[in-house]
Amino acid sequence: MSNPPLVTVFGSLHYDIMVDAPDRPRKGETVTGHAWHPKCGGKGGNQAISAARAGVRSAMIGAVGDDDFGTALLANLMRAGVDHSCVRVARNTGSGMSVAIFDAEGDYGAVIVSGSNLTLGEADIASAAEVVTQTAVLLLQNEVPEAANIAAARAVKAGGGQVVLNAAPARKLSAELISLVDILVVNVIEAEFLAGLAVVETRTGAAEAARRLVDLCPTAIVTVGGEGVAYRDRSGEAFALPAIAVNVVSTHGAGDEFVGALAAALARGEVMRAAIAAANAASALLVSTPEADRSGI
């Protein structure tokens, strides 16, 4: 009997400090906040947990430091049902961490310190060979060295798996990595960076960006927050779906929830329109749920 499909995430793990404030500070300004709390995150960790929450097998390949943050990050993956056997503890290295400041509207700005995530490389892929060979969908992001992403993509493609790159945060991508990506997922800011054009924050603007981005990758998905999402592939198939109307509490993690749920749906064999609709629904549920209540989603 074959194993159920596996989504593997190769990427970052960050211990996040979340601060609630009336506004985000401008340069040189001090703002008085009213609450803070810790949260386990990193785009990689968030997406692995999102995939597990969507009901598929989920595995994480990453690295944490030999510190309290690393211990908390591993425990969080375990609680979420993510296979963390391929998360390495980097000795004498601090875990990745971030500080995110949320304003009264639920929008945020963040600073990350990559720490142990920058130690990831080809050796981590080699030591995760058993997981890699079972992978149906590999998720990558831009919070680890690109050489490591290339090694992961190569290994999964060799085994017949699909490679999804969430090109966030925005950075220049090498031709080698682009050649290995099956599906590119970006928001408006990242789409502007990669497509080299201003993107109007509407579904029409996202659709135009997706049309340009299929010159890079076979399939492009561009999200536009509360406006929705646009899809296009090289066969000419194109569509856009509106966002689901909800009362937004916090937008933090919405993109990661979308990507993880999308990968889960693709691993189950759903067609793209259904997969994107499922990702839309998962993201809408997340943004309408207070941060303190999200672990049970």
Please give the Cα distance from 285 to 297 (Å, whole number): 8
| DSSP bridge partners of 233 | 219
Taking alpha carbons only, the member of 217, 222, 231, 236 closest to residue 185 is 222
Taking alpha carbons only, the member of 297, 1, 11, 39 closest to residue 153 is 11
What strand order describes the sheet that includes 219-223? 83-90, 57-65, 6-10, 135-140, 162-166, 183-187, 219-223, 228-233, 238-242
Q: What's the token pair of residue 136? A: 């149906």
Strand-pair category, 238-242 with 228-233: antiparallel
Strand-pair category, 35-41 with 219-223: unpaired
Cis peptide before 169 (omega within 30 of 0): yes
67 CB-side CA count, 13 A: 14
Q: What's the token pair of residue 124? A: 């981590």
Q: Tell me, yes or no, if 66 is annotated catalytic.
A: no
In contact, 65 and 122? CB cutoff 8 Å: no
Q: Contacts by 281-284 with C-beta closer than 8 Å and gap 24+?
A: 281/244, 282/50, 282/53, 282/54, 282/257, 282/258, 283/243, 283/254, 283/255, 283/257, 283/258, 284/243, 284/244, 284/246
Q: Which residues contact 295 (CB under 8 A, 6 or more apart)?
A: 79
Of the residues 16, 83, 182, 256, only one is catalytic, namely 256
- Identify the sign of the CA torsion 295, 70, 41, 62: negative
Q: Cite the active site residues.
A: 256
